[in-house]
């Protein structure tokens, strides 16, 4: 151990005049500040703030100056000795005592937790006064299992610190935040629940399908449920009634609800039951009426239980397709961004009504439906809070018979965009999940009217498919008077971290100062 006496020789203190403290007065983990009176190898004598003297041992050999004030953490304390560790983390050293000074000036107790909070606040360029330090400290006590980093991240971005938002932040960090999947799970839970009261089920489905502009009214499908989701005894009565009295079911064509691919999928589902063989066949087409189809099922030479199975497959398929049609975006939304905002307001209202309705059910019946609905609600609220500072949206689309989940990230946050007046450039990420193409990340850089796009795909096969369409894409962008400076397809799945690459992304000094992103791109 080497001691630097040169600068501090005149500060040597007569330690015989200082009272001593008992080693039992200190607890493991406690943080103390002391002035170095003497040091020899790992043995040290320090003067505490009270004026008392403490003889202790260091965990590591360090170079200190006599008279230097240092912050220590108590690693061990027993009858024989106190073992101290100097706090030398990045942002804090015995030479500067920066964190200690901040805590002291803020009037906040000096301990390991408060030191960590100040260090994290400084690294995030946030205020470090007493009120703010205590705010984070209170939150850390309230949410004991949540790291200080997460709490500060939420506070910094004006997102309310709640257990729901903490959970959403985890979901987004783990890429487990698809609204599309949450809505599908909720709809399936409602439609597939055979034990749910038929009146409650109809009301829940009516909420999901609340869209007056649709060509097929909700009542038509609800009548299907009433006639075909009953117990076996009721089915024996309802099926012949459907066949004999056409007024019992308002009729429509399969093509009104299902796409061509959807009808093919329904055929496969029915074939997989192995109930349609020999003379028992069903000829499905887009022009086939539901009434005729149900009548054909009644005419099959199979048992009543098997008729119920086929009927349930058809009604569930029609219901799920109708719900998808009513609760997901279509291509038209791409032409009018206002429709996207209206869409989320509409979905949020549906979800709130579902939660209210399920509150009246017994705990066992409501738990799964209410749980799935709450997931959607919390996700939408998180997106809304996120947009206080950022430009981000999820776009759950229905294209033909396929559901596509996509996300749009504008990398320049709103604060930065408001600060700068001259529009120059803006960058964005469009994340797409296709059935056939898998996951695609499209990085878009727009400078005035010049656009460059980079497509990151999962493998060489997907790259070739997109390469084949690049010329068409170039022509389409040109039709919008957009100057395409580059369209590149890269066979490399690019990792994207929601926190590091979006929430904490460092803004480029030349990036744009105003939100001018072209939705047509």
Joined together, the tokens standing for residue 38 give: 């003497």
pTM, two decimal places = 0.70
Give one DSSP letter per residue of 285-331, joined into a string: -TT-BHHHHHHHHHHSSS-HHHHHHHHHHHHHHHHHHHHHHHHSB-G
At 363 the pLDDT is: 61
Residue ranges in 160-289 assigned as alpha helix (H): 163-173, 179-192, 198-208, 218-228, 232-244, 260-271
What is the 8-class DSSP label of residue 518?
-
The Cα–Cα gap between 151 and 139 comes to: 7
Mean pLDDT of the chain: 78
* E strand intervals along 333-491: 391-399, 402-410, 425-434, 438-447, 450-457, 483-491
Pick from 150, 184, 142: nearest CA to 167? 150
- Edge to edge, the sheet with strand 450-457 lists 391-399, 402-410, 425-434, 438-447, 450-457, 483-491
Contact 45, 70 (CB under 8 A): no
pLDDT tens per residue, the chain (521 residues)? 344 433 333 333 333 333 566 666 788 878 788 889 998 888 999 998 888 899 999 988 777 788 888 888 888 888 888 999 887 544 444 434 577 777 777 777 777 788 888 888 888 888 888 888 889 999 999 999 999 999 999 999 999 999 999 999 999 999 999 999 999 999 999 888 878 888 888 889 889 887 433 333 444 444 444 444 433 333 222 222 233 333 444 457 888 888 888 888 888 888 887 777 776 778 888 888 888 888 888 888 888 888 888 888 888 888 888 888 888 888 778 777 788 888 899 999 999 999 998 886 666 555 789 899 999 999 999 999 998 888 899 989 887 767 888 999 988 777 766 665 545 678 899 998 887 788 899 999 988 888 999 999 999 999 999 999 999 999 988 888 889 999 999 988 778 899 989 998 754 333 333 233 343 33
Q: Roughly what angle, to the nearest 10 degrees, separates helices 148-156 and 112-123?
A: 40
At 279 the pLDDT is: 66
Pick from 444, 433, 391, 403: nearest CA to 383? 391
At 495 the pLDDT is: 80
Pick from 438, 434, 412: nearest CA to 510? 412
What is the 8-class DSSP label of residue 195?
T
What is the 8-class DSSP label of residue 65?
B
For the chain, percent helix, then strand, then coil, each to nearest 5? 45, 20, 35
Q: Roughly what angle, to the nearest 10 degrees, separates helices 112-123 and 130-142?
A: 110
Please state whether beta strands 53-58 and 425-434 pair in parallel, antiparallel, or not at all (unpaired).
unpaired
Give the C-alpha distances (Å, rounded to integers) separating 440 from 22, 93, 393, 462, 518. Answer: 66, 46, 17, 9, 20
The length of the chain is 521
At 485 the pLDDT is: 92
The Cα–Cα gap between 67 and 205 comes to: 76
Contact 447, 425 (CB under 8 A): yes
The Cα–Cα gap between 194 and 182 comes to: 20
Q: Could you identify the residue written with the tokens 């409650």? A: 200
At 241 the pLDDT is: 28
The Cα–Cα gap between 4 and 461 comes to: 67
Instruction: Write down all domains in the chain, each with its CATH number in brackets.
Output: 1-86 (2.40.50.140), 180-327 (no CATH), 411-521 (3.30.750)
């Amino acid at each position: 151990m080497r001691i630097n006496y040169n600068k501090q020789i005149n500060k040597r203190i007569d330690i015989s005049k200082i009272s001593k403290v008992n080693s039992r007065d200190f607890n493991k983990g406690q943080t103390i500040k002391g002035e170095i009176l003497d040091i020899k190898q790992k043995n040290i004598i320090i003067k505490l703030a009270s004026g008392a003297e403490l003889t202790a041992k260091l965990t590591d050999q360090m170079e200190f100056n006599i008279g230097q004030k240092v912050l220590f953490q108590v690693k061990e304390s027993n009858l024989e000795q106190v073992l101290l560790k100097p706090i030398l983390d990045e942002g804090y050293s015995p030479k500067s005592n920066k964190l200690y000074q901040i805590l002291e000036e803020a009037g906040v107790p000096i301990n390991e937790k408060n030191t960590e909070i100040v260090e994290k606040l400084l690294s995030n360029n946030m205020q470090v006064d007493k009120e703010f330090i205590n705010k984070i400290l209170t939150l850390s006590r309230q949410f004991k299992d949540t790291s200080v980093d997460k709490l500060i991240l939420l506070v910094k971005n004006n997102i309310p610190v709640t257990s729901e938002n903490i959970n959403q932040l985890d979901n987004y960090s783990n890429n487990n935040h698809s609204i599309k999947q949450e809505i599908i799970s909720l709809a399936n839970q409602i439609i597939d629940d055979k034990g749910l009261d038929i009146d409650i089920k109809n009301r829940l489905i009516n909420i999901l399908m609340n869209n007056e502009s649709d060509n097929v009214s909700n009542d038509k499908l609800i009548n299907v449920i009433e006639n075909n989701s009953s117990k076996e005894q009721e089915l024996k009565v309802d099926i012949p009634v459907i066949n004999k009295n056409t007024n019992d079911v308002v009729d429509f064509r399969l093509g009104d609800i299902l796409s061509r691919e959807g009808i093919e999928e329904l055929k496969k589902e029915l074939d997989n039951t192995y109930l349609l063989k020999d003379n028992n066949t069903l000829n499905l087409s887009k022009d086939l009426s539901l009434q005729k189809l149900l009548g054909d099922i009644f005419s099959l030479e199979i048992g009543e239980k098997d008729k119920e199975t086929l009927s349930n497959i058809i009604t569930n398929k029609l219901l799920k397709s109708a719900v998808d049609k009513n609760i997901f975006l279509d291509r038209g939304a791409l032409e009018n961004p206002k429709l996207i905002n209206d869409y989320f307001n509409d979905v949020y209202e549906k979800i709130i009504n579902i939660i209210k309705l399920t509150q009246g059910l017994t705990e066992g019946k409501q738990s799964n439906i209410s749980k799935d609905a709450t997931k959607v609600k919390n996700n939408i609220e998180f997106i809304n809070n996120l947009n206080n500072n950022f430009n981000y949206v999820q776009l759950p689309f229905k294209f033909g018979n396929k559901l596509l989940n996509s996300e749009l990230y504008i990398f320049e946050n709103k604060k930065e965009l408001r600060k700068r007046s001259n529009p120059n450039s803006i960058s964005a990420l469009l994340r797409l999940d296709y059935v056939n193409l898998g996951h695609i990340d499209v990085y878009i850089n727009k400078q005035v009217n010049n656009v460059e796009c980079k497509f990151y795909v999962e493998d060489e096969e997907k790259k070739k498919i997109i390469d084949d369409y690049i010329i068409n894409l170039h022509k389409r962008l040109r039709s919008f008077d957009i100057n395409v400076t580059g369209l590149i397809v890269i066979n490399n799945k690019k990792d994207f971290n929601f926190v590091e690459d979006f929430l904490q992304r460092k803004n480029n000094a030349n990036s744009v100062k105003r939100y001018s992103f072209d939705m047509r791109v």
